[in-house]
Chain A
């Protein structure tokens, strides 16, 4: 087997990324959220096709037309999402997709033996093959998807965040299997959000940033700091002042400490995670950061009453000193906590309705008398908002679907801003928004903060958090691991905390 090398070029998600995996090698692919890891893996497994670039497999340029052709070549992939059919048994899930047109491609006895072998390789010897999938724990489900990948003859196993749900023992068992496979001449490509896994398991490490390969190094020469530096695009020891990405807000909250409006008391997101206690003041912008699935989204949902925490409370503090517990989404809204969801299309927009109707839907509770609308007042508020946010819209009576993403987002924000929120919780609001509109929306958030609104701002873009927020709360494995004052932090600090390498408040994570 010759050296394997593949290079891809795809606009947006991947930008001429290069990756080279040799036989008998465990290779780790690292990068921040949105750096293109998953895209690259989907190309490797035949799910996506590259716009340009080539894949060389055993010295030969190949085209991957479908997941099936990738499997045929010996590339087995375990995707980030645990893809299972809950109603089917463990055995059927493991053999999913192997059957031909006329039922089973294998004899039942072979299937049982194969499934047993694969599960035992992964340390799940005792698992009943006839159990329905939905009765399994998340970790067991995840290992079953790995088993599905390894029952087929494979030469390259691709694991995209395949260890996220596993405990230490299960993880070690999986790693033993991977090392064994390496000694047999097979290769593994994996991504992980845990730096210790990357350093402990990989022979080679490739770092992606903004869709491009920025470094490839041997594990022996790699250090945690070096990798983090490559991921964030700065040298690990660079002066934080140089790292500043843009103008930072002055922070109304810093000049005169304002009253707290929201208190999070001993909030536990997951059974195993540490309780979180935070206070948010009027006029403060608190950023939330974390890698995918580390609890920051759950935190946001707890704040606005969409989710019940395992333990602890969210308290809204009124000006008159009264304190109310947030128990439901409606309750949170009554207390002035307003939520702008992440997925515009599915959670925010009323596609067929007009721009004005999308804006005004939340207002009718206040602006109606005996159930009849007071449209004039709503129109006036819309006009005010459209002017202050520089909303670009042909006519408020046209359907909102013709607006650009940024303008749609403005309307969704306006929906709540017009309700004069005390706390505005925004879940990654600037995704897919063009540069100029982003700048306008930054301005909008700053003005709101200056007016005394507390803003809790979850973002997947660190640069954005550094530009806009006063403090950044970083989540890792369901716990708040660092509270970084934006003034004194660089994106390297944030990335380090995201990977659990916390050095600020000294709380031990690993």
Chain B
């Protein structure tokens, strides 16, 4: 009854740390893993030229300045709309109000310019509205402890309601000629024979990458998305970071709305609708994870290019719109599953 069982050495260490296990891996295994991880990283960068070459092969006469510029305009619109989305997703959120903000901004430009408001005033008004929208989405998410998926969706309903009401019956609108030219394939930016939107996208891309890498709030965006609990304990400015992310997102969407107005010249509150899923598609294909804390805008640039190229390619060879969606869907699943593998390796250790 009082006989203790054979007792193991009392000093036996209960938990060998992971460090003790690590060296057991063979070198070849490490090399394989390294290559695998970097291959998935590089995949979007490989797909962009591959899809382009496929287009050149399959679409007769595709290799021309005009079609390349058309492609880049398409990618610019999507890329700009996805810029803010990338940042909100890295911050661990998501912005569902982008299409609505695009629509509202389109209405405001066409209506107010038609009524002869001065352009700077119109742009300032749009920017102020975008900042208001982004702030409300982010703050309500923080204060009500609800995911921004919900708050931005609510915001989307409000904004598109306002846009529809405003545009109700309005068929007349006007935009300045330079705005139309900025999204036209034959447009010029000053002496440069490239439409302005492409240059705007290029500059915005550099700024976005710099923002995420080189600014304090950019680094905090990653921390917040990676682990909100740890972020709070590491005194990351969570609220401010989320507000900045959603304001950038709304500002980008508003900018895209302005360009869309130049595209068509008439008020259309539903113009942004396809961007509901397209922005998320571009972000995901690029390799930014919906889990937050991983990815970057340089990846979304590739994602936007891939989406634009794939759409052009499929249209060019005569596939229907429904088939385009199907192809995009498959691409998203195929690519994100390879990114997922990379994650698992990290999680294992």
B-contacting residues of A (Cβ < 8 Å)?
A: 7, 12-13, 15-18, 20, 209-218, 233, 329-330, 333, 339, 341, 346-353, 357, 360-362, 364-365, 368, 371-373, 375, 392, 399, 401-402, 404-407, 415, 432-435, 437
Contacts and interface: CB of A to CB of B under 8 A. Distances in A.
Contacts of A407: 19
B208 to A, nearest CB: 15
**9 closest A-B pairs by CB:** A404-B19, A434-B17, A18-B5, A350-B226, A364-B216, A15-B8, A368-B216, A352-B294, A401-B346
B326 interface: no
B2 A365 contact: no
Contact of A399 (B215, B227, B346): B346
Contact of A16 (B5, B230, B232): B5
Contact of B12 (A15, A18, A233, A392): A15
B7 interface: yes
Interface string B40-58: 0000000000000000000
A339 B7 CA distance: 38
A372 B18 contact: no
A404 B18 CA distance: 5
Contacts of B6: 16
Q: Is the interface of A mostly helix, strand, loop or mixed?
A: mixed
A365 B226 contact: no
B66 interface: no
Given A330-B235, A353-B223, A365-B216, A432 B230 contact: no
B229 A346 contact: yes
B4 A415 contact: no
Interface in B1-49: 1-8, 10, 12-20, 22
B79 to A, nearest CB: 23
A373 B215 contact: yes
A351 B346 contact: yes
Q: Which of B15, B214, B215 has the most CB of A within 10 A?
A: B15
B4 A212 contact: yes
Given A329-B235, A351-B293, 18 more contacts: A12-B15, A15-B8, A210-B14, A215-B4, A216-B1, A216-B2, A218-B1, A349-B230, A350-B223, A352-B346, A353-B293, A361-B219, A371-B215, A404-B22, A407-B19, A434-B16, A434-B19, A437-B17
Contact of B7 (A15, A372, A406): A15
Nearest to A230: B4
A357 B214 CA distance: 12
B297 interface: no
A169 B8 CA distance: 41
A405 B347 contact: no
Give the interface size class of chain B.
Answer: 35 or more
A401 B347 contact: yes
30 contacts: A7-B5, A12-B15, A16-B8, A210-B14, A211-B8, A212-B8, A213-B7, A214-B4, A215-B2, A215-B4, A339-B233, A341-B233, A350-B222, A351-B227, A352-B226, A352-B294, A352-B346, A357-B222, A360-B219, A361-B220, A361-B236, A362-B235, A368-B216, A371-B216, A371-B217, A373-B219, A375-B214, A432-B17, A437-B17, A437-B19
B343 to A, nearest CB: 8
Nearest to A437: B17
Nearest to B90: A352
Contacts of B289: 352
A239 B233 CA distance: 43
Q: Which of B14, B289, B349 has the most CB of A within 10 A?
A: B14
B344 to A, nearest CB: 11
A350 B18 contact: no
B146 interface: no
A327 to B, nearest CB: 15
B234 interface: yes
A233 B9 CA distance: 13
Contacts of A353: 222-223, 226, 293
Contacts of B219: 357, 360-361, 364, 373
Contacts of A209: 10
B30 to A, nearest CB: 11
A364 B235 contact: no
B233 A347 contact: yes
A335 to B, nearest CB: 12
A233 to B, nearest CB: 7
B29 to A, nearest CB: 14
Contacts of A349: 227, 230
Contacts of A7: 5
Contact of B13 (A17, A213, A214, A435): A435
Contacts of A368: 215-216
A209 B227 CA distance: 36
B232 A329 contact: yes
Contacts of A210: 10, 12, 14
A362 B8 CA distance: 44
Contacts of A12: 14-15
A373 B17 contact: no
Nearest to B219: A364
Interface in B229-245: 229-236
B303 to A, nearest CB: 18
Given A347-B230, A362-B235, A415-B234, A20 B1 contact: yes
Given A346-B227, A415-B234, A405 B17 contact: yes
B2 A217 contact: yes
B1 A347 contact: no
A357 B226 CA distance: 11
Contacts of B4: 18, 212-216
A434 B18 CA distance: 8
Contacts of B230: 341, 346-350
A353 B293 CA distance: 7
A249 to B, nearest CB: 22
Contacts of A348: 230, 233
Nearest to A369: B216
A233 B1 CA distance: 20
A20 to B, nearest CB: 7
B17 A406 contact: yes
A207 to B, nearest CB: 9
Contacts of B216: 364-365, 368, 371-373
A351 B347 CA distance: 8
Interface string B201-217: 00000000000001111
Contact of A373 (B3, B214, B293): B214
Contacts of A399: 346
Contacts of B7: 15-16, 212-214
